[in-house]
Amino acid sequence: MMDSLYIAWRYVTWNRGKSLILIASVTLIAFLPLALQLLLDESEQQLRSRATDTPLLLGAKGSALDLVMNSLYFDDSMPPRIGLDASEQVDASELAYAIPLYMRFRARGFPIVGTSLDYFDFRSLRIGEGRMMTLLGESVIGADVASKLGIGPGDSLVSSPDNLFDIAGVYPLKMKVAGVMERSHGPDDAAVFVDTRTAWIIEGLGHGHQDLARTGDSSVILQKDDDSVTANAKLMQYAEITADNIDSFHFHGDSSIYPLTALIVQANDDKAAALLRGRYQDHDSYQVVRPVDVVDGLLENIFRIKTVIDGVIVIVGLATLLTMVLVFILSLRIRQDEMDTIFRMGCSRMTMARLLLAEIVIIVAASALLCAILLTLVSANSASLVRYLLLS
């Protein structure tokens, strides 16, 4: 058998072009469904684990999928907003505790997530470098943000303008980076976290400016009497919150309607969760969803698509196998003289069959090896590949 393998090996290496094409075809046919399965398993694991860790989400009525994808994976989908009073209502129910989320703005391509410090406890996120944000205007960034932008504690990040062509829109805010989170291998690694009030300042609901009642610069005053002062457009609003100007920052309007995109609702127990879901079942403005249900629905659709892809792969695989058979039959015809010579030298038909079988074994073995290497690479990078291909 070793002799047959050696002669087959010599043949395969002599006809490199043909052998490489065959190896590539077999490799791809084996690799594609296996790699797809690996990535789907990883995406299922990633999607489900985060969804399972998040018991309930409260948001505005609308697409539950947008709400979950935005709140859990910080994707670009923008669910309708809810007011801060929704959070107060949940807390007042004494059935659960609400963690606010407000995700609308970005800084250098990364999502700015407005939340409270409870979020970090909830997700078991720890500071790796620097410290937790303490003052308004400070941020803590995920490990990917730090490594990709090359920034760390003490540096600054500027929020991106809402709309490049809307000159009267949201002012960019320069945010100090207070700390960098330890890598969590999840969407939190690629997020910029700020206090919800900092996000509202970016939104323009809060701002800081010189004290109009005490300013010596009369050119900023349009009108002044005992009860009111009206400033003109010259009044500069601070674009960065510092220790010197933080006292001047204030919010306007009814705080109960300050916007949020979602609430992570931590119910006291299963009974409280059921009661809370019942209360919001027919609510006019809000919905309470179990992220794991929404993600399971999404995965069901993904697996339905996978069945179609599997079918296509089976047909392509069959076509490749038939092509391989054809290649071997044709190569036998081309090698007719070679076969005759071997036959005249005294080799039996069985020996010739063994030679052909050895060639097939070598090609399949080479394909299996290549496929294993590629699958190992995919497997090693499946988490980041899934985040890049499916969840980004």
The contact set with another protein (CB under 8 A) reads: 97, 99-100, 116-118, 121, 131-136, 138, 195, 197, 209, 212-213, 226-232, 235, 237, 246-247, 249-250, 252-253
Name the residue nearer to another protein (CB basis): 134 or 392: 134
- Helix, strand, or coil (residue 154): coil
CB of 284 to another protein, least distance (A): 26
- Helix, strand, or coil (residue 245): coil
Name the residue nearer to another protein (CB basis): 11 or 258: 258
Name the residue nearer to another protein (CB basis): 147 or 268: 268
Which residue(s) pair with 103 in the sheet?
Answer: 113
CB of 224 to another protein, least distance (A): 9
CB of 212 to another protein, least distance (A): 5
CB of 266 to another protein, least distance (A): 9
Amino acid at 312: V
CB of 278 to another protein, least distance (A): 24
Name the residue nearer to another protein (CB basis): 4 or 139: 139
Distance CA 161, CA 158 (A): 9
Name the residue nearer to another protein (CB basis): 87 or 382: 87
Contacts of 339 (CB under 8 A, 6+ apart): 332, 352
CB of 320 to another protein, least distance (A): 59
Distance CA 297, CA 137 (A): 38
Name the residue nearer to another protein (CB basis): 118 or 310: 118
Residue 312: CB atoms within 10 A of its CB come to 11
Q: For the residues of 310-375, what is the DSSP string, one character each? A: HHHHHHHHHHHHHHHHHHHHHHHHHTHHHHHHHHHTT--HHHHHHHHHHHHHHHHHHHHHHHHHHH
Name the residue nearer to another protein (CB basis): 52 or 237: 237
Q: For the residues of 160-212, what is the DSSP string, one character each? A: PPS-TT-TTSPPP-EEEEEEEEPP-SSGGGG-EEEEHHHHHHHHTSEEEB--T
- Segment (H or E) for 262: strand 262-267
CB of 41 to another protein, least distance (A): 35
